[in-house]
Homo-oligomer: A and B are copies of this chain.
Amino acid sequence: MKEKVTIYDIAKALNITAATVSRALNNNPKISEATRTLVIETAKKMNYEQNRFALALKSGKSNNVGVVVPFINRNFFSSIIRGIEEELYPKGYHVIICQTHEDTKKEEETVQNLLNAQVDGILMSVSKTTQQLRHFKKVLKSNTPLVFFDRIKEIDGVSTVTIDDFQGGYIATKHLIDMGCTRIAHATVDLALDIYKYRFEGYKEALNDHGIPFKEEYIIKTKSDIDAGEKAIKKLMKLKNAPDAIFSASDFAALGAIQELTKLGVKVPNEFAVVGFSNEPFTQFMELSITTVDQSPVEMGKMAARVFLEQMKEPTLKIMKKVELSPELIVRKSSSSLTAKQQTNI
């Protein structure tokens, strides 16, 4: 049975009162050194363990934080969660995870559930389909710290941790330009999401900075999967003035693009260079490894956790912090025959 030892048991054993035991256990200054050590010793002897529910009821804090992502088994998100867990565990917090399946309805419900469970904070990446912000306002109203990572919404009072997607798009495109490409296409996913919008803008800016005219026909809106990449290439290669490179906002689409190019007999990277985005694990494992932009998701998770912790330190004032991490270009074979050799060593 769950015969847990309470401070009353200790008190009884020592012929003192529970209040004294509590004080001894909590480093309360108003207690003699003698009783303190005595209490601590017998507590250990009796295998005392604090009842967290009672503490939670008393203090109003659960020492749990909720993390909400579309799917946990996506490398990007599970890596972020890893970062969060590693940062928060040593501070005594437990991480509760929930998935939205990219469904706003589920997201709203989940957030409400987390609030009901009285988590001390919510860290999340918003679903693609989310437009309404009611549920986030509710979180703020309940005075629970809210931190967005990667996929954010601009809400007053909500801290955010992102990578600089604009810069990501910029360095990816600039790299292709540096490699001698002049007709650079771009595969984007969903311009309603800021991350894709900014990558697109970085792409345009890089073209502009290097005197390459922007061409609407080079922009393909796709999904983030292999099939989408194949279709994109099919469409692009039919153009009169077909591109000689593509910057894909998705690694999966980049992979599909490469497969389709190979099928069409177009040599990658010599005749056509490809750059993806996200540094999915598979990009480095391919025989033709894929150049991509790393988002350091573990670091992003740690940062989100740190922002939360900061907020907890100052429960009175509303801190609103915007952290932007720098993306890193990882050059591999799909865009650079020269560096191919160096990048093979995994």
Binding site for B on A (CB under 8 A): 1-2, 49-54, 56-57, 60, 62-64, 66, 71-75, 78-79, 81-82, 85-86, 89, 94-99, 110, 113-118, 142-143, 226, 255, 259, 262, 281-282, 285-288, 298, 346
Contact = CB atoms under 8 A, between A and B. Distances in A.
A78 B72 contact: yes
Contacts of A54: 57
Contacts of A81: 72-73, 97
A101 to B, nearest CB: 9
Contacts of A85: 72, 97-99
A56 to B, nearest CB: 4
Nearest to A80: B73
A10 to B, nearest CB: 17
A139 B95 CA distance: 20
21 contacts: A50-B116, A52-B117, A52-B118, A53-B53, A53-B57, A53-B118, A56-B56, A64-B94, A72-B81, A73-B82, A73-B298, A74-B78, A81-B97, A86-B99, A94-B113, A95-B96, A95-B98, A96-B97, A97-B97, A226-B346, A286-B286
**CB-based closest 6 A-B pairs:** A282-B282, A78-B78, A53-B57, A53-B56, A73-B78, A73-B79
Given A52-B117, A98-B85, A143 B2 contact: yes
A11 to B, nearest CB: 19
Given A73-B81, A86-B99, 13 more contacts: A53-B62, A73-B78, A74-B78, A85-B99, A89-B110, A94-B96, A95-B96, A95-B98, A96-B96, A97-B97, A282-B286, A285-B285, A285-B286
B287 A96 contact: no
Contacts of A86: 99
Contacts of A117: 52, 63-64, 94
A75 B72 contact: no
A73 B75 contact: yes
Given A95-B97, A96-B94, A287-B288, A1 B71 contact: no
A190 to B, nearest CB: 22
Contact of A143 (B1, B50, B89, B118): B1
A63 B62 CA distance: 13
Given A81-B97, A99-B86, A282-B281, A2 B60 contact: yes
Nearest to A288: B287
A47 B281 CA distance: 46
A107 to B, nearest CB: 13
Contacts of A226: 285, 346
A75 to B, nearest CB: 7
A262 B5 CA distance: 64
A49 B98 contact: no
